[in-house]
Amino acid sequence: MAVNKKEDKEKGDPNVIAREKARWEEEVLNKFVQKNPERPERFTTVSDAEIDRLYGPWDLPDFDYLRDLGFPGEYPFTRGVYPTMYRGRLWTMRQFAGFSTAKETNERYKYLLSHGTTGLSVAFHMPTIMGICSSDTRSMGEVGKCGVAIDTLADMEDLFNGIPLDKVTTSMTTNAPASILLCMYIAVAEKQGISSSKIGGTIQNDILKEYIAQKSWIFPPRESMRIITDLLAFAKDKVPRWNTISISGYHIREAGSTAVQELAFTLADGIGYVNAALKAGLTVDEFAPRLSYFFNSHNDFFEEVAKFRAARRMWAKIMKERFNPKDPRSMMLRFHTQTAGCSLAAQQPMNNIIRTTIQALAAVMGGTQSLHTNSLDETLSLPTEEAVTIALRTQQIIADESGVTNTTDPLGGSYFVEALTNRMEEQAFDYINKIDEMGGIISAIENGFPQREIADAAYHYQRQLERGEKIMVGVNKYVMEEDSEIDTLVIDESVEREQKQRLNEVIKKRDNAKVKEELAKLKKAAEGTENVMPHILESVKAYATLQEMTGTLKEVFGEYKDPGYI
């Protein structure tokens, strides 16, 4: 017995492992590699992070299970935010949809709900996202193209017609006009006889990443933050089940960032919102549990899993160390994931199904709470019904057939995954420290720092693709001459006409004096310190148009213009 114990001890001894590793390298590895050279010179992730040949305990010299991982549902949440994860409840399968008119999108929602979608996710068309109406000249050619056209409350009523808002949760992808669209949703619920305290969902409302990456803004950064803190204060009483900001790395990655940059800039935005809300007089536990995150899932499976795990641990540390919350939910990073649109190719589009599957699997192995899988035709047009069904089925096959949902954080303890998680955390904290030194994320944005870092990474990746250092199957390797024969969705030009007509009807029917009165109150609130949200809600209920409301706020807050960093 004594001998066995000694052997056991020796087996785990780092010196013994180091000695054995040196022996293996000399006797086995080197001889082998001489005869069988490795393929490229460098092995790197999608983000160009160098990857070693083999990972082992030597990569985790200070590993402390209880400190670094702990148990799921407990600080630092590395292994998941809930104790049982998918054994208790699967992630929400949320397919982003919206096109053409509200009536047509309403039919797509009913179709998706009847096929097992469990949460709705609204894509708004560009004019709505920019806070302008379908009738404005700048909207010409854009109406209903990239999402659904919403000009007034009447459109929102059509969008959710026959969908009981206490039975579904809805995610709305809108930022600059988020406060207005949330008020429209509340108004629709009230018309359905449902109290706003019963409705649940998420509004993206992440304006900071707009300046960094997605570039759909109305007001300058500091003024936008005022509207957001008003929304946070309003929502805690009025819509307590609502996730008030979905802090989004998705678009940062789509704009060309690396995985580490996505992690760093997104969490830095999170810190920015917490600071702003505290400054506006809220206490941390009043709003932090309703913050959620939204990440991208790219092709590099392990880099993505590590990113999600690092994100959870970093946010828990950031919240605990900087803001000292009492409620553990304030430290919990819950997140939605979308597979990487930027990874898909127009060439051989069927391959996109496979890319999406790998990315979705990474999101699930990383512990996502909600997932959108992209459709195979999205590099060509908005998804057709068939393509979106395959995308949804991809999630269902992972959930019900693959077995990866049977245990919590199945990759936890992998030498590679833990080492990569640690390294990404360290590199992301380096960025966050740099941003702190610049005076926080808003100053960093005003200096163009994240914008330039991302543009550099995007250009670097593009050059790597063009030199063949990064492979895209069907694009720069295994290329085929082909005619694209898949069906695509075409939005008819008549949509624009119909939508303008709809808007005119609403304007004709409403009480214009009432609209004027509510907008005047809104302006007064914006000029002072009164919360703007109740006045937005009243303006919405009077059927003020989106553009009338954003126009009123622009008079006070001004407009933001693209500095055009290259």
Partner 1 sequence: MKDDRKLRILIGKPGLDGHDRGVKVVARALRDAGMEVIYTGLHQTPEMIVSAAVQEDVDGVGLSILSGAHNHLFSEVIRLLKEEGADDITVFGGGIIPDDDIMKLKEMGVGAIFTPGDDTDKIVEWIRGNVRPRG
Closest CA to 202 of 236, 164, 244, 174: 244
CB atoms within 10 A of CB 520: 13
Residue span binding partner 1 (CB under 8 A) among the ranges 20-28, 50-58, 133-141, 502-510 = 133-141
Q: In Å, how far are 295, 428, 443, 457 from 258, measured between CA atoms?
A: 12, 11, 21, 7
The answer to the question of residue 168 lying near partner 1 (CB under 8 A) is no
Nearer to partner 1, 401 or 481 (CB): 481
The answer to the question of residue 465 lying near partner 1 (CB under 8 A) is yes
Tokens of 147: 């999402």
Place of tokens 């624009």: 496
Q: How far is the CB of 320 from partner 1 (least distance, A)?
A: 35
The answer to the question of residue 488 lying near partner 1 (CB under 8 A) is yes
Interface pick for partner 1 out of 168, 455, 506, 556 (rule CB under 8 A): 455
Interface pick for partner 1 out of 51, 475, 506, 556 (rule CB under 8 A): 475
The answer to the question of residue 126 lying near partner 1 (CB under 8 A) is yes
The answer to the question of residue 104 lying near partner 1 (CB under 8 A) is no
The answer to the question of residue 342 lying near partner 1 (CB under 8 A) is yes
Closest CA to 127 of 147, 154, 107, 155: 147
The answer to the question of residue 146 lying near partner 1 (CB under 8 A) is yes
Pairwise CA distance, residues 387 & 350, whole Å: 10
Q: How far is the CB of 308 from partner 1 (least distance, A)?
A: 23
Helix (H, G, I), strand (E, B) or coil at 76: coil
Please provide the DSSP assignment of 433-486 as one string.
HHHHHTTSHHHHHHTTHHHHHHHHHHHHHHHHHHTTSS--BTTTBS--------
Task: Please count the residues of this chain forming the interface with partner 1, following the rule CB under 8 A.
Answer: 47
Element (H, E) at 213: none
CB atoms within 10 A of CB 106: 18
What string marks each residue from 343 to 372 as x (binds partner 1 by CB under 8 A) or -? --xxx-------------------------
Helix (H, G, I), strand (E, B) or coil at 203: strand
Q: In Å, how far are 162, 201, 366, 377, 546 from 153, measured between CA atoms?
A: 16, 18, 38, 32, 9
CB atoms within 10 A of CB 101: 24
What strands, in cross-sheet order, belong to the sheet with 119-123?
A: 242-243, 200-203, 169-173, 119-123, 92-97, 370-372, 335-339, 291-297, 245-248
Nearer to partner 1, 462 or 501 (CB): 462
Contact 547, 136 (CB under 8 A): yes
Q: How far is the CB of 174 from partner 1 (least distance, A)?
A: 13
Q: Which residues are 473's β-sheet partners? A: 477
Q: How far is the CB of 548 from partner 1 (least distance, A)?
A: 18
Contact 392, 373 (CB under 8 A): yes
Nearer to partner 1, 480 or 513 (CB): 480
The answer to the question of residue 177 lying near partner 1 (CB under 8 A) is no
Q: How far is the CB of 206 from partner 1 (least distance, A)?
A: 13
Residue span binding partner 1 (CB under 8 A) among the ranges 2-10, 29-37, 414-422, 464-472 = 464-472
The answer to the question of residue 141 lying near partner 1 (CB under 8 A) is yes
Nearer to partner 1, 145 or 336 (CB): 145
Q: How far is the CB of 440 from partner 1 (least distance, A)?
A: 23
The answer to the question of residue 226 lying near partner 1 (CB under 8 A) is no
Residue span binding partner 1 (CB under 8 A) among the ranges 111-119, 253-261, 284-292, 521-529 = 253-261
Residue span binding partner 1 (CB under 8 A) among the ranges 88-96, 226-234, 353-361, 451-459 = 451-459
The answer to the question of residue 129 lying near partner 1 (CB under 8 A) is yes
The answer to the question of residue 490 lying near partner 1 (CB under 8 A) is yes
Closest CA to 150 of 106, 190, 109: 106
What is the chain's alpha carbon radius of gyration, rounded to the nearest angstrom?
25
The answer to the question of residue 513 lying near partner 1 (CB under 8 A) is no
Please give the residue ranges that form the binding site for partner 1 (CB under 8 A): 126-127, 129-130, 132, 137-142, 145-146, 210, 214-216, 254-256, 342, 345-347, 379-382, 455, 458-459, 462, 465-466, 472, 475-476, 484, 488, 490-491, 561-566
